[in-house]
Amino acid sequence: MSTLAPLLPGLVAETTNIPDDEIPGTLETVIMEAIHPELGGVAKVTAVKVFRSRCINDFLGIMDGHSDELHMFSVSLFNKHIQPQSWLLDGGRRSGTGCWGDEMNRGDIVYILSLEVQPSHRRQGLGTWVLQKLLSSSNVKYDDIVYCWPTAERSALTPEARKVDVNGQLAFYQKNGFRRVGKTDFIGYSPKPSHKSRLVPESSDATPISGDSALEGQVELLPLHKSIVELNTPEIEGIIQTSYDTDPSSIHRVDAYGFTPVHLALADLNIHALRKLIALGVTEDLRNSDNTKCLTPLEMLLETMRSNREFSETVLGSWNGYGKPELLAEFCVKRALGEIEDTVPEATFESKRKWGCTCGACFGGYMSPRMCYRLKHQGALIMDMMEQNMYMFKRGKPLEDMDGLFDISTDYLPWGLRSSMYKTFYKGYQTLFATIYAISGSVNTPATVTSLASLVAGNPDVSCYLSKGGRYEYALDAVTSVAREQSCLGDGTFDEMYEDEAEVGTEFTGLLKCANDLEFELVRRLIGLDPEERWGPYYDMDDDDSDVD
């Protein structure tokens, strides 16, 4: 940067922050421009800042709505909770140098869309100058990470020219401290001097996974691969057997991308081919990741399942669980690998896995032990808060001072129910939270609308609550909403409370981890909260869409 002064004296950096038109508090365009008093703008870097806390409820949808590039970025590196994909952290082949980890789950995201230098002033260090101005500006906080996808300019039309262009951009960013995230096409920069990426030499940075889809290109060169893709019927079993009888090595042969027949069977969800190949002995192929995607057949299947789920949740608005073909394919592979005992029925696996459970202990495949614990904690907390308010009620009279209630549960009652609230009604509402607390420690009977109705049947206080327009759903809405707000998807207070195991023990942190631990929306839907209804908190009367008089 020191060479710039004699070349362009008087150069200054000018920053422009433009809030997004539709979601101004969530996305912001950041433009850092190098301005010369006589030449004007000579270089410019344009980025999008993503404020994590403001988009954590719909991250993938927001990224998809912005552009195809941000959509690709989001689904390549993160899940819907803006947490890094697990394979980035597991030390496997796809994690690359392993220099990126849990820090991707903190801070905001700054994504560079473009960096432009006027043609007449290129190769004078202006690109580095303006980029460093952005990286050292207040737009990049200590915990933030800056990402970029080096791509070819439109003028680079031939494959050779595009490759040269991409490599040139990559080298430029690497010299400025960027390192590849896993083996993806994306690179990242951390402002922390002690970050692991600073220890990776440019020459040792990971290379991206290359290659096209397993179902495209030269797959037709191998007859068995072609048959598996084109024939998803029982007849494929005979074709595989004939190929094996003629040449036993044919069921292990790799195509131009490194994929074996069992890779193709799983990519196409060809259960007939999959079962036949497993019966003939392809166990070692199930562990093979020596291909252009660095994926084993099972990993390929799981990636497809993840992608299909994200599409359903983001575009269609609802996911109805994994389909039977996906689950059957996963079951067959895991049994062949010895990950599922022979005594476990296929139906049992499907029921446990349908809703995404990875711990094997979720009730109904969706309510994880950690989720149960969160709901139990909130049930106890709300129950105790309500008990402290009982003195405010006078016998036979409605509560006079609603504002005096120190009680978050009341926010989840429609306003029509609050205007004339008696003690018996309030005690009935409290009983629901006490019941949630009592049963949420057991994944055999989690708190649902059905289980609550069964367990409190005949309780006089609850009967009063229900007769006045109360619903089981209001209590379930309260505990799940508050639990989510206090999780890492909200203010994180619950998780922070249990971080110090020496002080609070391992009652929570010792529970099995599961992919469903933060699936609040899924849990709410499956315990009986209709996502089409307007739920609390009802902070003012305009929020109340209920029919309660």
CA distance 432 to 428: 7
Non-local (6+) Cβ contacts of 405 within 8 A are 389, 392, 399
Q: Is the dihedral of CA 440, 441, 444, 445 positive or negative?
A: negative
pLDDT in tens, 25-59: 999 999 999 999 888 899 999 999 999 999 988 99
In 3-state terms, what secondary structure has residue 46? Answer: strand
Alpha carbon distance 497, 274 (integer Å) = 47
Res 500: pLDDT? 82
**pTM of the predicted structure, to 2 decimals:** 0.87
**Terminus-to-terminus CA distance in the chain, angstroms?**
70
- CATH says 220-354 is which class? mainly alpha
Residue whose token pair is 């007769």: 467
pLDDT band for position 221 (cuts 50, 70, 90): low
pLDDT reading at 214 higher than 80? no
| Mean pLDDT, the chain, integer | 92
Going by C-alpha positions, the residue among 104, 105, 133, 131 that lies closest to residue 117 is 131
Cα separation, 251 vs 453, in Å, equals 56
Segments making up each domain of the chain, as ranges: 4-204, 220-354, 369-543
476-508 CB burial, b ≥16 within 10 A, e <16: bbbbbbbbbbbbbbbeeebbeebeeeeeeeeeb
**Between 10 and 261, residue with greater pLDDT:** 261
Contact 440, 432 (CB under 8 A): no
Query: Which pLDDT band holds residue 123 (cuts at 50, 70, 90)?
Result: confident
For 88, the 3-state DSSP assignment is helix
Of the candidates 378, 384, 367, the one whose C-alpha atom is nearest the C-alpha of residue 487 is: 378
Question: Does residue 545 register a pLDDT over 60?
Answer: no
Question: What backbone torsions phi and psi does residue 189 show, to the nearest 5 degrees?
Answer: -135, 130
Query: What is the C-alpha R_g of the chain?
Result: 28
- DSSP state string for 268-327: TT-HHHHHHHHHH--TTGGG---STT---HHHHHHHHHHHHHHHIIIIIS------HHHH
> Which fold is adopted by the domain 4-204?
Aminopeptidase (3.40.630)
pLDDT digits (tens, 9 = 90+) for 387-416: 999 999 998 899 987 777 888 999 999 999
pLDDT band at 542 (very low <50, low <70, confident <90, very high): low
β-bridge mates for residue 28, sequence order: 19, 49
Position 364 confidence tier, pLDDT thresholds 50, 70, 90: confident
- Amino acid, res. 37: P
CA dihedral for 315, 316, 322, 326, sign (positive or negative): negative
More confident: 282 or 548: 282
The label of the residue with tokens 């040269």 reads: 164
